[in-house]
Amino acid sequence: MYKKTSPWTAVVVLAFAVAVGSLQMTVVVPMLPLLQRQLGAPATSVSWTLTAGLLSGAVAIPLLSRLGDMYGRRTVDLSALGLLVAGAAVAALSGTLGAVIAGRVLQGVSAALLPLAMGLVRQAVPAHRLPTAIGVLSATIGVGSGGGMILAGLVDGDYHSMFWILAALGAVSFTLVAALVREVTPAGAAGRPDLVGAALVSGWLVCLLLAISKGAAWGWTSPRTSGLLAAGVVLAVAWVVTARRSASPLIEIPMLLHRGTIGATVASFLIGFALFAAITTLSAVAQGALGASVLQVGLYLLPTTVLMLAVSVLAGPLMRRLSASALVSAGSALVTAATVWLVISRDSGADLYGAAAVLGVGVGLGYAALGTMAVEHVEPAKTAAAGGVNALVRVVGSSLAGAVGAAVLSSGGAGWSFGVAAVAALLAAVFSTVHRARGEWA
């Protein structure tokens, strides 16, 4: 057990850290139009203040999870929080788009806080309480994501203040983890971090996302777009080859295709995509068609934040009666309903509030259950790898949503963007349902 600290105190402290790490993912979403005006950059370029943070998080999740196994999850957790504070300070002091993006890259490393926290909690919480603890940790991603919208609204018109507040929250979280969290099992896993794999994954994701975000402006068949897509394919193939040959790969390729986790992997990717596609498009609609301020955008998304938190509290008890995959299916269906609502009608504040409420229930259910769904059908020795892969694909889906959303909004409009989110959520419901059926047949 944790020395001089209740396991549930540690869960709360780590959940707060995960929420702060998640908050940085969405805090720039309602600020994108403001950043575009103040930094004098096109929307497809400014969208990289969102995409860059998500992208660095996608690489940081498996890399820092491995470093946590080697040097201690608590130590690496504190390092990730320190980089969050440093990145927020860099962005707060910046006056150019490049500097803001650099700060966002540092902040994005905090995406690894969830798998690190899950590893720490797994050591301390009794097995019969573990689904509840993991559900709380997973659900705080949604709470932090919604909280980012509120924070941006409170500092409407001043992105410097927004990043200073984020730095302060990161510093508070760092202090709490340092004071109240202790690691039970000493670190000391053999091997070394897969830096080549990290570089290759970063390379092919950057090529893919840059091509998608800039494709409409450059032309989808232009040499630059085609060249980036080709480079992305080459780097992805090289990554798969090196990962299969490495003794300690950044991402275990077989785990991506594991029979017990494939449903959770696909569902996590699609729910992450659907959530970020929905909230970025909703922000654009509110500020464009309805003339909302950044604060009003945060208020439109307040039902999402509140209901994510409320549902996360209920998810643990529900998983004692229903399977995790059933909850993910139900949550994905509700996300589908929310985004279809916005495809059909988005002309009033009532539409945005109503859809945001349904979205909050759906994402709250889905996020709270995904962590358990990802690990319940794998052997104990593979639990950490399965959880890490699940968190990774969720962030990759979110980062892809930022690039795709910017491209679709600039060319097809909000209806198409909400439609893409609806299709993603519907597919998540299908995959999680199939996953549940296969588990019953096994």
Phi, psi of 372 (to 5 degrees): -70, -40
What is the share, in percent, of the chain residues with pLDDT greater than 70?
85
* pTM exceeds 0.85, yes or no: no
Q: Is the pLDDT higher at 285 or at 322? A: 285
Is the pLDDT at 90 greater than 70, yes or no? yes
Tens digits of residue pLDDT in 350-397: 999 999 999 989 988 888 788 777 766 666 656 666 766 777 788 788
Residue keyed to tokens 């097995």: 127
* Residue 442 CB-density burial (10 A; 0-12 exposed, 13-18 middle, 19+ buried): exposed
How far is CA 406 from each of CA 211, 280, 281, 376, rounded to the nearest angstrom? Answer: 12, 9, 9, 36
CATH fold, domain 7-183+250-441, is Growth Hormone; Chain: A; (1.20.1250)
Distance CA(431)–CA(59), nearest Å, equals: 25
Tens digits of residue pLDDT in 8-45: 788 888 989 998 988 888 788 778 777 888 888 877 77
The pLDDT of residue 382 is: 63
28-60: buried (b, 16+ CB within 10 Å) or exposed (e) per residue?
bbbbbbbbbebbebebbbbbbbbbbbbbbbbbb
CA-based nearest residue to 421, from 324, 364, 355:
355
The winner for highest mean pLDDT among 53-57, 109-113, 299-303, 430-434 is 109-113
Q: Is the pLDDT higher at 119 or at 239? A: 239
